[in-house]
Chain A
Amino acid sequence: MKKLKALVAGCLAAALLVGCGGGGDTASSNVFVMAKENDVSTLDLKLASTGMDFEVLNAYCEGLVALDKDSKVIPALAESYTISDDQTVYTFKLRDAKWTNGDPVTANDFVYSWQRTITDGEDYKYFFTDDMACIKNGNEVYAGEMDVSELGIKAVDDKTLEITLSKPTPYFLSLMAFPTAFPLNQKFVEEKGKDFATSADTVLACGPYVLTNYVKGSTVEFKKNDTYWDAENVHLDGMKMNVVSDASTASMDFESGNCDFTKINSSLVDKYKDDERYSSYLEGYLWFLQFNIANNKTDTPLANANIRKAISLSIDREDLCNNVLKDGSISARGFVPAKFAFGPDEKDYAETADNLISNDAAEAKKYWEAGLKELGVTSLELNLLHETSDPAKPAAEFIQGQLEKNLPGLKVTMTGVEKKVRTTKQQDGDFDITLTRWGPDYADPTTYLTLLTTGHFFNYGNWSNSEYDAKMKEVGSSTDVNARWQTCKDAEKLLLADGNAPIAPLFQTGGASLISKQITGLESHTFGTPYIYKNVVKK
């Protein structure tokens, strides 16, 4: 027994000794340390699809242009560009930038990268088609009907890149800051073969930072890239992203001073909302209810416009954002989120468009009763499909409460599933109402508005309106930027007008975060790369 006791005491003493030795890594040096909820899913830009992938790519690589803190286009690897009179040919003049292996960044690096992605890419393979960047022959090459060499991108010489579009595309330039459009050093990629972009030493940098360490599921580390063309304006010595999936742990890590920046979930907002380190970044995701109007070509009760209108009217979105989500989310004014698309007048689309969303419980009840009468029933049971993560779960529970309170005779049953199951169920038409979202691919209202055109894959509720389709077609073919902008607004109005509204827009997500007072210059964006770190300064 004595021996046993001695052993235990020994073990404890040893544990304590180990515990006291060595200091933890601190966030005190000039390294920006972040806690990230998700890991990087790939370092290869042809496969990249998540916000985290884009953030990492954007830290060590760069595009022809970049976005400033207000999401306006600024020069990056291209020092200047010209646009043809018909707005379809863009000629970029590249600056003298270098890859970290010493090679210059050339026009061919872009051609190679684009051709590689459109032939063998995944989620963003459609980047080059008319659904996104509108590159000439993009649709045909994507579909395999044309050789990849026909894609509208050409290296005129080492420093001149010519890109031809299929039609004038006002948002094209901002898309050149999207990581899928970044260049790749062909020699390096081919040399690494299968191993390319699987670790920190199998990628090449041409951006503000160099990837120095990548431990899957744990950490991503960078140091400043001294050969970067704008190195004098990069102020950090390095960055470190720790993957921390638990929000409580992340906030403890932040409190301990080992972390400069972390997102928090709504359960922690109350604790921090008056803290000077609390901030909320507006994100591009717009959450909305999508109604299943026709299932297998038969109308559902939700085909009744009064029923849909009643549902939309009965939800108090302000209450939802301020008292349930509490993470800086704002209520939707239409189907296009705020602060992401700026028009020819340089003004925010959402701010200048009409507010198309209202909340009025008494009105809702009137529409509801009229709807029930038209359907010839006195009660309805509807299923609400939602995912079980934040913010969908609390939002869905709130919506269930609002609907059942304000619409007598309505019973809302809930189907809570994982995100990937929700999207699959949506595709299969297996829902009455789904709480879904869309994150913008590019800075233009059409990234949202085209979703509800007839036959679009995202139009899960099978809504169809020829007038709306015609309006969207007009937007697509318009060459007058001012008229086009107005047509977008008209189309949105038509979409959400009485008798239409196949959706009920709810809220735009806010990213509740904790950021150290030492940090300035962190730039957030509502589309493409969520956070850009080039201008971060740590005092």
Chain B
Amino acid sequence: MDKSTLKYIGKRLLISVVTLLVIILVLFAMLKMMPGSPFNPEKLSPDMIAQLQAKYGLDKPVLEQFVTYLKGMLTGDFGISLSIAKNIPVMDLVGPRIGISFGIGIAAALFGALIGVVLGVTAALKRNTIWDSLSTIIAVIGVSIPSFVFALLLLLVFGLKIKIFPILFNINDPIRSSILPTIALSVGAIANVARFTRSEMIEVMKSDYILLAEAKGLDRGTLIRKHALRNTLVPVITVLAPIIINLMTGSMVIEQICSIPGLGSLLVRGIQANDYYVVMAVAFLYSLLYVVMMLVVDVLYGIIDPRIRVGKGD
């Protein structure tokens, strides 16, 4: 790796760290500005609320709270839950859920990408045939119908009517109970990837080098696999990165509907209960993932395609 690449990576890394710090600050400030309190004021007198605020250090100036929180964070202490699981360290709540949400998310992204690419390529190669229309229809349906409708439909058909999958997520049988939510989650990804692949593939097929390859007498299978598909997939991977993160961080709605004890449902409960540190930890985790993913994509780009570095003057 040459010096300029290292410099490029170093700069990206620095930007990422700064971005994360800013995110933490903004999140913290926003949570503090949120109306309401983590305690249940319906039954508590104002002096009792004041006692509880003092007990958990919430009566201190926001800046002081922020510094304390940041210090804790650096040592891996993300605070405790104040409402939804009283006095339990936030990390004990988040930890077991990461695997569940990530597992389903990655599976949905892979499944979505695979089916999406197949649909997109089919549509592009059989342009203006019934296959193309069919693939477009599937893509349109996928984009326009929200995934939770699919989730409910899948639960109804495969959970209630045909009974081959459980309706509720069963922690002791995670694979079987993940299948329906995975499919429901991947619908959006399928649609996006299919549309994108189709247009990319059409572009690629029109390009000169394909013409050259064809002229050289390459058989169609090799042509598509080795030349067209490969070049189509590079930009597809770019759109895939945010899709993967989106899915990994769990769909709040799908998790609610399928009763999955994942990050999304934790975040929803945390927000409803004003449970500051729970919301903070999950939101931070999401941001971290985004930033790391973007960093990886940026670095990979830089390595794969030096024009990006040169072009940006880096």
Q: Which residues of A contact B (CB under 8 A)?
A: 1, 4-5, 7-8, 11, 15, 18-22, 24-25, 35, 39, 41-42, 44, 47, 49, 122-123, 125-126, 198, 215-219, 242-246, 248-249, 252-253, 255-256, 258, 417-421, 423-425, 427, 437-438, 441, 457
Contact = CB atoms under 8 A, between A and B. Distances in A.
Contact of A252 (B41, B83, B156, B256): B156
B40 A420 contact: yes
Interface string B144-172: 00000000100110111001111111110
B176 A258 contact: no
A277 to B, nearest CB: 15
A42 B85 contact: yes
12 contacts: A1-B221, A21-B176, A47-B87, A49-B43, A122-B39, A123-B43, A218-B169, A242-B259, A249-B257, A252-B167, A423-B40, A437-B42
Interface string B261-287: 100011001001110000000000000
B204 interface: no
Contact of A1 (B88, B165, B224): B224
A256 B160 contact: yes
Nearest to B111: A11
Contacts of A418: 36, 272
Contacts of A47: 86-87
A480 to B, nearest CB: 30
A200 to B, nearest CB: 14
A42 B87 contact: yes
Nearest to B47: A457
Contacts of A441: 43
Contact of B40 (A123, A125, A126): A123
A440 to B, nearest CB: 11
A19 B179 contact: yes
Contacts of A421: 35-36
Given A42-B86, A122-B52, A423-B36, A258 B168 contact: yes
B118 A420 contact: no
B37 interface: yes
B75 to A, nearest CB: 17
B93 interface: yes
Given A217-B93, A245-B265, 15 more contacts: A8-B115, A19-B176, A24-B163, A123-B44, A217-B266, A219-B171, A242-B168, A249-B258, A253-B168, A418-B272, A420-B37, A421-B35, A423-B41, A423-B42, A424-B37
A93 B36 CA distance: 45
A15 B265 CA distance: 25
A491 B179 CA distance: 60
Contact of B261 (A216, A246, A255): A216
Contacts of A198: 87-88, 92
Contacts, number: 149
A138 to B, nearest CB: 14
Interface residues of B, number: 63
A42 B221 CA distance: 61
Contacts of A122: 39, 52, 86
B265 A252 contact: no
A24 B38 CA distance: 37
B97 interface: yes
A47 B272 CA distance: 19
Give the 5 A-B residue pairs with the shortest CB-CB distance, closest first: A420-B36, A217-B261, A457-B45, A218-B261, A42-B86
Given A122-B86, A256-B159, A22 B261 contact: no
B2 interface: no
A1 B160 contact: no
A248 B176 contact: no
A245 B259 contact: yes
A424 B34 CA distance: 11
B160 A252 contact: yes
B217 interface: no
Contacts of B259: 218, 242-246, 249
A22 B41 contact: no
A484 B171 CA distance: 54
Contacts of A39: 84-85, 269
A244 B173 CA distance: 17
A427 B266 contact: no
Nearest to A40: B85
B40 A24 contact: no
B22 interface: no
B43 to A, nearest CB: 6
Given A217-B266, A246-B259, A249-B259, A4 B35 contact: no
Contact of B118 (A4, A22, A41): A4
A8 B114 contact: yes
Contacts of A21: 176
B17 interface: no
A258 B273 CA distance: 29
Nearest to B255: A245
Contacts of B167: 249, 252-253, 256, 258
Interface in B19-61: 35-46, 48, 52
A19 B42 contact: no
Contact of B175 (A18, A35, A242, A425): A18
B156 to A, nearest CB: 7
Contacts of B266: 217
Contacts of B225: 1
B227 to A, nearest CB: 13
A246 B256 contact: yes
A377 B273 CA distance: 41
